[in-house]
Amino acid sequence: MMRRPEIPERKTLMLKTFSRFVVLLIASMTASAQPVAAFNQSTKIFRLDGGDVSYVFGVNSRGELQQLYWGGRLGANDHFPQAEPMREWASFDSSYTTTPQEYAGWGAGLFVEPALKVTFADGNRDLVLHYESHVVTPDGFDVVLKDIQRAVFVTLHYSMDPKMGILARSATIENREAQPITIEQAAAAAWALPAGNYTLNYLTGRWAGEWTLNQETLRPGERLIESRRGSTSHQANPWFAIQAGAPDENHGEVWFGALAWSGSWRITVEKDQLDAVRVTGGFNPFDFGYVLHPGESLETPEFYGGYSPDGLGGASRILHHYEIAHILPHRMGEGDNAAPRPRPVIYNSWEATEMNVTEAGQIALAEKAAALGVDRFVMDDGWFGQRKTDHAGLGDWYVNPVKFPHGLKPLIDKVHALGMDFGLWVEPEMVNPDSDLYRKHPDWVLNFPGRPRSEERNQLVLNLARPDVRAYVFGFLDKLLTENDIAFLKWDYNRNWSEPGWDQLPPNEEKKVYVEFTRNLYGILAELKKRHPKVEFESCSGGGGRVDLGILKYADEVWPSDNTDPFDRLTQQDGFTYAYTPQIMMAWVTDSPHWLNKRSTSLEYRLLSSMQGSLGIGANITKWNDEEMATAKRLIAAYHQVQRTIVQGDLYRLISPRDGSEFSATQTVNRDKSQSVVFAFIHSTQEGRGFPRLKLMGLDPAAEYTLAPIEGKAAKDTPETASGAWWMNHGLEMSDDFRGDFQAAAFRLDRK
Ligand code: GLA
């Protein structure tokens, strides 16, 4: 959870006195006994080292906190002199604006993006933050800044991961003035890179079309990646990667970052007036206004940043491992060895039954699912209230007595008897106007009194920022989980905000809704996890509308898209994995022809596409014939054997499916390099071209690996066993008949 704000004056003072002219090596040690954080008192330089990364900033001679270095790890004896502010650029760009600050207040002629912008009660809007003090923390620093005159304090939190070099940053803003202040803009952190040529990578999309990777040359000016929608959004995802020079999957320096916030957010990427690059991210300043009364403080979300010298592939491998070891819930093990268990293979009823769920219908599906080797049966929308269509029922979380006359117990018992655990769909933050809840509490939704309330999918958004709404939502979920043996909730969220009023608060404070709504969402999840520690959660928002490192502290998995077309999914999965680990990337096999694109594909192709992530089945399996059942059963069993390698290993995107590629391929290698899994897909063979020979990556060159097909065949003369060097240098060749439309193959390699 969020750290409590703390302005640690006394400890800081002691530190300052004790260590006047000595270099302080901070006690926090990595496994390899290297210090991760060091402060040099004489030069006022802060240095953080982790993995192959160093991050350095210092107090410059003006008193500002100036960013100095972010990149490959420096030598232990390399030192920086005290930071000197950058010079002004003629009389138009002051030194205040040319100097890259760790966290700049808007004031003193700042023209680049500020980290913090406030209005004081007397109308003053000038904020200039200078270093005040710092303390060391187990894995970094808390550095306190203060306005040059007024009692606005900002504590910057830095926490460096010693193995992966990912730096977590956030800020606590505290008002110690006698009057309230209004925060109009608050970033979690600002990152800086020196002037140069860079490519910006970011992810955009829309419903059923999430996870498009965009790659563009970074040009002067500001690029906004943002959501103004109250939640993370399909439209853009809070992740970026900046590569030196042209985009390259396997080589070159990449700096990347991801914001842990599921409300409206913004990341600005600027190439400033001197061609230097700054990335600033946090709460979206659009329609933002957070009043801090005397003594109050505001915590920003965390902004994680990392660096890799090994291209975009290297960057995503670091990020995946960090998510697995440090972000996701339900981890077992310690430190970097911690990992959540691979996801159960699920069956989900949505595409089979939509809202027409009944006890008998669900049991029929469950029986078939169990026969396939599925681990978890999930009943989707339609089980509650008067939910027949999307016009009614949301908000009324009682079991529909017509569809389930004996409650959920008979179904849950049956699912258990079949050897699966049971999961259920909920959409807690929403209400249909046609519901008992809305009839009783029309004031509970986001709205401006007297104004129209815009419906989307016939629903309105409950104002979760309200204490009574929070209590209601927690209450019904707690009851549901207490009264039923439920292992999993798919937590959905099927629209964005409109008319975001919160009329319980004074007019000038209503905009707090942007922070408190999301805080309460996290709070409810945290409390539910405490009360029901075994229950797992999926974050879904009409597909991939709420995927970010904030929700992933509570959600064990996500639903990347309502688009389950297995060919579209290849590109979506490719984009998704730039920011997020396949561990959380749920992928169902659904029916063919597909409802969205009307495309027909073989069951093998659909299974292999889904096996790139965390496999699930979402088809109407009551209609599957014996052959289809046998194929799915065989491939689910094969998947179970190699799943951990696929979802938690090192991912190499060998051939991208983007830009209309004829072919695509991925490979994952587990952490100890004893196993690897390869997937290969053909869109449509053209002019007789065979599949390119795949030079594998990440294997131990000296070890011997045995190749076994999961689906498909290798070329006739492929050795059964060969060295890692052979597979990486010579490569894996597909059989000559691996041609056609929508073909798929998969192989495993096991170290002898
Ligand atoms: C959203 C989800 C789907 C399904 C429906 C149910 O669209 O993304 O998977 O749960 O809601 O209404």
pLDDT single digits (tens) 291-310:
999 999 999 999 999 999 99
> What's the confidence (pLDDT) of residue 35?
60
Torsion over CA: 514, 515, 519, 520 (sign):
negative
Helices (H), 484-613: 513-531, 566-579, 603-611
Band the pLDDT of 739: cuts 50, 70, 90. Answer: very high
> What's the confidence (pLDDT) of residue 261?
98
What is the per-residue DSSP string for 406-468? T-SHHHHHHHHHTT-EEEEEE-TTEE-SBSHHHHH-GGGBS--TTS----BTTBEEB-TTSHH
Q: Is 380 in the pocket of ligand 1 (CB under 6 A)?
A: yes
Measured between its terminal Cα atoms, the distance across the chain in Å is: 44
Q: Is 383 in the pocket of ligand 1 (CB under 6 A)?
A: no
Helices (H) and strands (E) in the chain, counts: 13, 39
The pick from 494, 495, 617 for probing ligand 1's pocket by mutation, whose C-beta has the most ligand atoms within 8 angstroms, reads 494
Band the pLDDT of 3: cuts 50, 70, 90. Answer: very low
> What's the confidence (pLDDT) of residue 34?
58
Q: What's the mean pLDDT in 175-203?
A: 98
- Ligand 1 atom nearest the C-alpha of 542 is 8
pLDDT of 388 above 50: yes
Q: Is 548 a catalytic residue?
A: no
Q: What is the pTM of this model?
A: 0.95
- Measured in Å, residue 422 CA sits from the centre of ligand 1 at 18
Report the chain's C-alpha Rg in angstroms.
Answer: 27
Q: Is 542 in the pocket of ligand 1 (CB under 6 A)?
A: yes
Q: Is 562 a catalytic residue?
A: yes
- Measured in Å, residue 714 CA sits from the centre of ligand 1 at 39
pLDDT of 749 above 60: yes
Q: Which of 27-36, 46-55, 486-495, 593-602 has the lowest mean pLDDT?
A: 27-36
Helix (H, G, I), strand (E, B) or coil at 729: helix
Q: Is 538 in the pocket of ligand 1 (CB under 6 A)?
A: no
> What's the confidence (pLDDT) of residue 337?
86
- Measured in Å, residue 384 CA sits from the centre of ligand 1 at 15
Q: Is 350 in the pocket of ligand 1 (CB under 6 A)?
A: yes
The pick from 231, 350, 491 for probing ligand 1's pocket by mutation, whose C-beta has the most ligand atoms within 8 angstroms, reads 350
Report phi then psi at 384, rounded to 5.
Answer: -125, 165
- Measured in Å, residue 653 CA sits from the centre of ligand 1 at 29
- Measured in Å, residue 545 CA sits from the centre of ligand 1 at 11
- Ligand 1 atom nearest the C-alpha of 490 is 10
Report phi then psi at 460, rounded to 5.
Answer: -120, 160
Set 49, 434, 562, 568: catalytic member: 562
pLDDT single digits (tens) 224-246:
999 999 999 999 999 999 999 99
> What's the confidence (pLDDT) of residue 336?
80
Q: What's the mean pLDDT in 459-477?
A: 98
Q: What's the mean pLDDT in 195-202?
A: 98
- Measured in Å, residue 542 CA sits from the centre of ligand 1 at 5
What is the per-residue DSSP string for 312-371? HHHHHHHHHHHIIIIISSSEESSGGG-EEPPPPPEEE-HHHHTT---HHHHHHHHHHHHH
- CA dist 585 and 563 (Å) reads 13
> What's the confidence (pLDDT) of residue 237?
99
Q: What's the mean pLDDT in 312-324?
A: 98
Q: What's the mean pLDDT in 303-318?
A: 98
Phi-psi region of 335 (alpha: psi -120 to 50; beta: other; left: phi over 0): left
Asked whether the beta carbons of 374 and 347 are under 8 A apart, the reply is yes
Residue 82 CB-density burial (10 A; 0-12 exposed, 13-18 middle, 19+ buried): middle
User: Which has more confidence, 172 or 23?
Assistant: 172
pLDDT single digits (tens) 43-52:
999 999 999 9
Q: Is 559 in the pocket of ligand 1 (CB under 6 A)?
A: yes
Number of C-beta neighbours around residue 480 at 10 A: 21
Q: Tell me what the pLDDT averaged over the chain comes to.
A: 95
Which residue's CA is the closest to the ligand 1 atom numbered 6? 381
pLDDT single digits (tens) 438-459:
999 999 999 999 999 999 999 9
pLDDT of 18 above 60: no
- CA dist 679 and 442 (Å) reads 51
- Measured in Å, residue 119 CA sits from the centre of ligand 1 at 42
Residue count of the chain = 752
Which residue's CA is the closest to the ligand 1 atom numbered 9? 562
pLDDT single digits (tens) 708-738:
999 999 999 999 999 999 999 999 999 999 9
Share of the chain above pLDDT 70, in %: 95
- Measured in Å, residue 631 CA sits from the centre of ligand 1 at 27
> What's the confidence (pLDDT) of residue 2?
34
CA angle, 558 then 567 then 377, to 5°: 40
- CA dist 281 and 291 (Å) reads 20
Which residue's CA is the closest to the ligand 1 atom numbered 8? 542
Q: What's the mean pLDDT in 685-695?
A: 96
- CA dist 379 and 350 (Å) reads 7
Set 492, 565, 574, 650: catalytic member: 492
Tokens 């989900």 -> residue = 348
- Measured in Å, residue 605 CA sits from the centre of ligand 1 at 24
pLDDT of 6 above 80: no
Closest CA to 517 of 226, 230, 174: 230
Which residue's CA is the closest to the ligand 1 atom numbered 1? 542
pLDDT of 10 above 80: no
> What's the confidence (pLDDT) of residue 334?
83
Which tokens belong to 269?
A: 């990427």
Which residue's CA is the closest to the ligand 1 atom numbered 2? 542
Asked whether the beta carbons of 61 and 85 are under 8 A apart, the reply is yes
Q: What's the mean pLDDT in 665-677?
A: 98
Which residue's CA is the closest to the ligand 1 atom numbered 3? 542
Q: Is 565 in the pocket of ligand 1 (CB under 6 A)?
A: no
pLDDT single digits (tens) 331-381:
998 888 899 999 999 999 999 999 999 999 999 999 999 999 999 999 999
Q: Is 562 in the pocket of ligand 1 (CB under 6 A)?
A: yes
